[in-house]
Amino acid sequence: MKSRGLIIVAIIAFIVLLAGCGGCNTYNSLIDKDENVKNKWGAVQSQYQRRADLIPNLVNTVKGEASFERGTLNDVVNARARATQLTVNPDDLTPEKVREFQQAQGQLSQALGRLLMVTENYPNLRANEAFRNLQVQLEGTENRITVARNDYNNAVQDYNVRVRRFPANIFAGMMGFSPKTPFEADPGTRNAPNVDFGNNVGGSNGNNAGGNTNTNTSSSKDSIK
């Protein structure tokens, strides 16, 4: 009887030991994936900040075109101000905060897109070397943003699969690990600004899509001082 009792105790102890080891391994794995998500989110914010840092020079260069629309520039400046005021701590990636961050950056993307579209009407500006260099940098930054955003989403997917998969989901709930929110900007705001340098530098824009982009623009132009 005694030996049988000892065997049962040993089996129970072995099961507890295995569960403990499994719990430790699961915890360490979740920590690794959680840190990876935070790292990728930091890269996303870094690339968006890089874009924001380019905008003041872009705006100042465009101001050199005396008749450029003031409202278009103000939209970019205001959108940049809102976007740079909003940062999200990697330890607090709640759905609401991630969505708010995406919305602010999307509004800035839209404002930049409108500005670059309007520059099609200014051949002298598009021939400006400083402006063209800024376009190249902006295009490269938009590409980096896309890469960083995709890397973040991949890290989130990897983490979420681990958190939800049995038996890790049991330990995850007890240890405070919950699914994270991927980057899912509204389709209308995810498009990068059109930074096509065009083949019309120094020439007319009459062949642009829509053809009538120059109509009535004179009535909306203010002198930028």
Distance from C-alpha of 180 to C-alpha of 36, rounded to nearest angstrom:
12
Quick: pLDDT tens for 104-126: 999 999 999 999 999 888 888 88
Q: What does the alpha-carbon distance between residue 48 and residue 40 come to, in Å, rounded to a whole number? A: 13
pLDDT value of position 144 = 96
For residue 152, give Cα distances in angstroms to 13, 48, 99, 128.
41, 13, 14, 36
Confidence of residue 27 (pLDDT cuts 50, 70, 90): confident
pLDDT at 3: 66
pLDDT of residue 167: 77
Q: What is the pLDDT of residues 46-103, one digit of tens each?
A: 999 999 999 999 999 888 876 778 899 999 999 999 999 998 999 888 999 999 999 9
Task: List the structure tokens of 40.
Answer: 């990728």
Q: Is 221 helix (H, G, I), strand (E, B) or coil?
A: coil
Closest CA to 48 of 26, 15, 20, 79: 79
**pLDDT digits 0-9 by tens, 163-175:** 888 877 787 777 7
pLDDT of 9 above 70: no
What is the per-residue pLDDT for 96? 93
Predicted pLDDT at 15: 52
The larger pLDDT score, comparing residue 134 to residue 9, is at: 134
Q: Is residue 127 over pLDDT 60?
A: yes
pLDDT digits (tens, 9 = 90+) for 173-219: 777 788 898 987 555 544 444 444 344 444 434 444 344 434 343 33
Tracing tokens 């719990």 back to the chain, one arrives at 23
How far, rounded to the nearest angstrom, does the alpha carbon of residue 207 sit from its chain's CA centroid? 33
d(CA 208, CA 224): 25
> By the 8 A CB rule, do 63 and 14 touch?
no
Q: What is the pLDDT of residue 183?
A: 81
Nearest to 105 by CA among 62, 152, 71: 152
pLDDT above 90 (res 43): yes
Domains of the chain, by residue range, sit at 23-202
Average pLDDT score over residue span 20-24: 55
Task: Decide which of 21 and 101 is more confident.
Answer: 101
Which CATH code of 1.10.3720.10, 1.20.1440.20, 3.40.640.10, 1.10.357.140 fits the domain covering 23-202? Answer: 1.20.1440.20
